[in-house]
């Protein structure tokens, strides 16, 4: 049975003999032939078959031949190969929760402080970021030794949280609660948060018991702010979530934890009980860092700067402890990015490659601190490149754990990520890591597909590459690739200048724009081109990471231009009613320029001006000129632009004991579960504003027909009678994909209850009404959209009129629903008389629709 990389791990003698001290690079059988030249095997290898799971904040552990990950919202999955994963948990189900049995009862002591039907978790649970370990020294209630332990977090606000732990002799549970060991967000005097009945005064934690047992001194006055209630000082002290455990070189067990707020902290644990060994009194490390009587030693962050998901791994091969943290906000609109520091001691100081301490000195820009392993990026698939889609990339990758495979000497980075143009949906990702000559980890550009680090031939390395520099910024901008060439004479040209060389069997050294980067060359599987390709990954002395992904070799300029010509498409050009995206870049630096036969209808930038109502459609020839160095070719497209539409009722769902469209233009709606793509659910009918209305029970929705709206000029009218109003809950939802959507929120954003028409696209756009609906009362809502201009009406009165709204429904691949989307709590209440129009309703039209008619 194997623990995570920690404690005493057997040294792999073969790896030490065959590699340098800092670079544990296992050799393959192919390398035993010395300098024998091999053919280019870049394209060889079986294609891995990935099976996805969504586990947020994954913590990895291995038992026997099975890998397990445990994550936020009580998600868990397992795999034998790190490639195909199967979920085995059942989320917040209670009772009969897979991991916790009677969830509410089992974790009730933790929930007394946070995490169940309280404040930000109102109406549900918030159980986050568990850490799973095997502890052979833990003494069970029956006196036996050894248990699997889960250290979990519960949370009700950004600072009121707690860490507890539970144990099991079976890794898949159920886990039995033991204790709650760290609290945060407490106040000096009595106080309560909004939507909460919990008194936050510090004596309602366990701190008074610790004081009575003489484990901790009296409350630290610095815990509290100088205000009426003595608010929690969250700029200096942690939010008690994100526990991670590790063994040091002397077999001591430690727990690091914390999120944003005052930084990341560290406590030693008693191995037999799993309890923290609290310092008891305040102190200071030799290098001047805080030691708090209760929270422990500060090892990173502070002053409200982002930094969460700490994870520490001891590397027995170079005697360093590596601290991984994630900066930024975790959402698709956030800046999540992973960093690493290291130390010779488990309690620090942890420093980056530039020698900077992970603990901040004040309210400073912390983007330069920490070696940045990975942030938002995109190896963009340009016109003419193999494959399909936008390319290969991540949005907000982070909150990682790390696993070291003793048998192979492989290191794995385990994290969750979101993806370009896919909204907030997320999946588990595993990437292999390697250590460069300076002893710093570098991350493989592509997810793990079974590759091993082998000797590479120099002749396979020269060629054209997609190149990404992750830099040190904290940003939600995608770092997109640029084109570079590694020449046989060791020069680098293209978007950057420099030199490169291979050292050893597979080690890479690149000098780019005056900075030296060290790492490895490794063959990997690219899921976009579905080929095995050469890549490199390396980092610099100031902590920047760079990646390279090699293009297919042997392509002439004529070949590349031909690839672009064949791949270039504008989609359906027979019925155009909105702006057209005209690509200007093709594969490997190819340029594409455009001309128009009628620029007053379609400009050379793709801007469309439709003929007026009653005029005939316009036909335009768009000509693309494709250039790759001295090679030029052209391609023509005939485009038909439709005239502007008169308003026209195209769908009418009146819910007269059915989900039929009364116009006959579309099929009837179908019942869903609590998400747009779930099965199950139940819709009933009762008296409405006119005849019958549909009853939504808060667990169900209606999937409307696809392509209900297919243009940039449309109107929607409906009646709502909500039983309750919850933030982000949709009533009418339409989406081209999970990153481009329109959602009518009767309860607005959490906490404000203002009716909101919200849209995702290149940016989020909010048409906020400043009007609050009343529950158990009928209200009429209508909105019109025309070329980015949006107007919202409530009960016949205009409440919002603004421009710049996202143009979402630009092609015939959109889906629609009532009461549900892919993410949020479903609508609860009544909906009646849904009407959808081509074109824009006038204010008089809306006023007439808002007149209730029994």
Choose, from 57, 268, 552, 563, the residue flagged as catalytic: 57
The torsion angles phi and psi of 848, rounded to 5 degrees, stand at -70, -40
- CA gap 27, 69 in Å, rounded: 29
Long-range contact set of residues 87-96: C-beta below 8 Å, sequence gap at least 24: 87/53, 87/55, 88/172, 92/124, 92/125, 92/127
* DSSP strand pairing (779-786 vs 713-722): antiparallel
User: What are the residues facing 829 on neighbouring strands?
Assistant: 696, 722
Give the chain's length.
854
- CA gap 387, 86 in Å, rounded: 27
Place of tokens 């630096």: 589
- CA gap 350, 322 in Å, rounded: 8
Residue 566, classed as helix, strand or coil, is helix
Q: What share of the chain is helix, strand, coil (3-state, %, to 5)?
A: 5, 40, 50
Catalytic site residue 509?
Answer: no
At a CB cut-off of 8 Å and minimum separation 6, what does 148 contact?
132, 133, 134, 135, 167, 168, 169, 170, 171, 175
Catalytic site residue 405?
Answer: no
Choose, from 116, 242, 308, 481, the residue flagged as catalytic: 308
577 preceded by a cis bond (ω within 30 of 0): no
- CA gap 110, 116 in Å, rounded: 9
Q: Are 133 and 3 in contact (CB under 8 A)?
A: yes
At a CB cut-off of 8 Å and minimum separation 6, what does 227 contact?
none
Sheet holding 59-63, edge to edge: 59-63, 66-71, 75-79, 86-87
Burial pattern 729-766, b for ≥16 Cβ within 10 A else e, equals bbbbbbbbebbbbbbbbbbbeeeebbbbbbbbbeeebe
Q: Are 354 and 367 in contact (CB under 8 A)?
A: no
- CA gap 194, 714 in Å, rounded: 39
Tokens of 656: 């007269």
Task: Catalogue the active-site residues.
Answer: 57, 308
């Amino acid at each position: 049975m194997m623990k995570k990389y920690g404690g005493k791990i057997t040294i792999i003698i073969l790896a030490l003999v065959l590699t340098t001290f800092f670079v544990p690079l296992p050799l393959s059988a192919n390398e035993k032939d010395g300098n024998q030249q091999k053919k280019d095997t870049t394209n060889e290898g079986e294609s891995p078959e990935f099976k996805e799971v969504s586990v947020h904040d994954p913590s990895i552990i291995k038992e026997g031949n099975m890998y397990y990950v445990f994550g936020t919202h009580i998600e868990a999955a397992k795999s034998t190969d790190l490639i195909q994963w199967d979920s085995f948990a059942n989320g917040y189900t209670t009772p009969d929760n897979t991991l916790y049995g009677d969830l509410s009862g089992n974790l009730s002591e933790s929930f007394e402080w946070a995490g169940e039907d309280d404040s930000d978790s109102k109406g549900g649970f918030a159980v986050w970021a568990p850490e799973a370990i095997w502890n052979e020294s833990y003494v069970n209630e029956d006196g036996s030794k050894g248990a699997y332990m889960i250290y979990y977090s519960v949370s009700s606000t950004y600072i009121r949280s707690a860490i507890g732990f539970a144990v099991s002799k079976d890794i898949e549970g159920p886990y039995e609660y033991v204790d709650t060991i760290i609290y945060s967000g407490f106040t000096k005097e009595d106080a309560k948060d909004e939507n909460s009945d919990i008194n936050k005064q510090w004596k309602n934690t366990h701190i008074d018991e610790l004081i009575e047992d003489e484990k901790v001194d009296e409350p630290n006055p610095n815990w509290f702010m100088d205000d009426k209630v003595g608010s929690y000082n969250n700029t200096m002290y942690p939010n008690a979530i994100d526990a991670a455990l590790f063994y040091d070189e002397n077999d001591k067990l430690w727990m690091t934890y914390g999120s944003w707020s005052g930084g990341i902290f560290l406590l030693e644990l008693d191995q037999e009980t799993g309890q923290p060994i609290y310092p008891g009194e305040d102190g200071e490390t030799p290098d001047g860092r805080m030691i708090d009587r209760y929270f422990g030693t500060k090892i990173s962050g502070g002053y409200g700067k982002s930094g969460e998901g700490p994870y520490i791994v001891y590397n027995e091969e170079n005697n360093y402890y590596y601290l991984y943290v994630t900066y930024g906000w975790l959402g698709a609109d956030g800046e999540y990015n992973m960093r690493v520091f290291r130390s010779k001691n488990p309690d620090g100081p942890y420093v980056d490659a530039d020698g900077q301490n992970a603990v901040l000195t004040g309210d400073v820009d912390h983007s330069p601190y920490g070696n940045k392993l990975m942030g938002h990026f995109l190896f963009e698939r340009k016109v003419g490149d193999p494959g399909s889609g936008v390319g290969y990339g991540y949005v907000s990758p982070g909150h990682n754990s790390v696993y070291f495979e003793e048998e192979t000497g492989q290191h794995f980075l385990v994290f969750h990520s979101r993806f370009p143009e896919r909204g907030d949906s997320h999946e588990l990702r595993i990437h292999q890591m390697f250590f460069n000559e300076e002893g710093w980890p570098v991350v493989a550009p592509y997810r793990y597909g079974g590759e091993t680090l082998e000797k590479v031939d120099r002749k396979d390395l020269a060629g054209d590459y997609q190149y990404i520099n992750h830099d040190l910024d904290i940003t939600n901008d995608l770092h997109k690739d640029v084109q570079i060439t590694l020449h046989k004479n060791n020069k680098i040209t293209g978007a950057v200048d420099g030199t490169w060389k291979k050292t050893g069997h597979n080690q890479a050294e690149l000098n780019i724009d005056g900075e030296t980067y060290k790492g490895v060359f490794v063959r990997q599987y690219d899921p976009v081109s579905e080929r095995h390709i050469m890549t490199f990954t390396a980092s610099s002395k100031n902590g920047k990471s760079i990646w390279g992904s090699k293009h297919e070799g042997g392509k002439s300029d004529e070949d590349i231009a031909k690839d672009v010509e064949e791949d270039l498409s504008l989609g359906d050009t027979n019925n155009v009613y909105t702006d057209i995206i005209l690509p200007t870049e093709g594969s490997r630096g190819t340029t594409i320029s455009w001309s128009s036969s009628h620029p007053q209808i379609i400009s050379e930038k793709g801007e469309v001006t439709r003929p007026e109502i009653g005029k005939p459609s316009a036909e335009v020839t768009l000509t693309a000129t494709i250039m790759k160095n001295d090679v030029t070719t052209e391609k023509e497209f005939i485009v038909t632009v439709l005239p502007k539409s008169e308003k026209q009722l195209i769908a009418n769902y009146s819910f007269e004991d059915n989900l039929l469209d009364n116009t006959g233009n579309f099929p009837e709606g179908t019942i869903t579960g609590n998400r747009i793509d779930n099965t199950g659910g139940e819709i009933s009918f009762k008296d409405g504003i006119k005849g019958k209305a549909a009853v939504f029970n808060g667990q169900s929705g209606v999937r409307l027909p696809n392509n209900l709206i297919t243009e940039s000029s449309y109107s929607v009218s409906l009646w709502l009678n909500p039983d309750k109003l919850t933030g982000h809950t949709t009533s009418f939802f339409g989406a081209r994909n999970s990153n481009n959507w329109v959602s009518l929120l009767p309860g607005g954003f959490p906490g404000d209850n203002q009716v909101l028409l919200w849209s995702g696209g290149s940016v989020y756009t909010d048409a906020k009404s400043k009007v609050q609906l009343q529950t158990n009362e009928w209200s009429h809502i209508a909105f019109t959209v025309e070329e980015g201009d949006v107007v919202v009406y409530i009960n016949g009165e205009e409440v919002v009129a603004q421009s710049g709204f996202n143009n979402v429904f630009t092609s015939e691949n959109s889906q629609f629903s009532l009461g549900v989307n892919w993410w949020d709590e479903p609508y609860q209440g009544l909906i009646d008389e849904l009407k959808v129009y081509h074109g824009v309703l006038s204010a008089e039209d809306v006023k007439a629709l808002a007149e209730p008619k029994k």
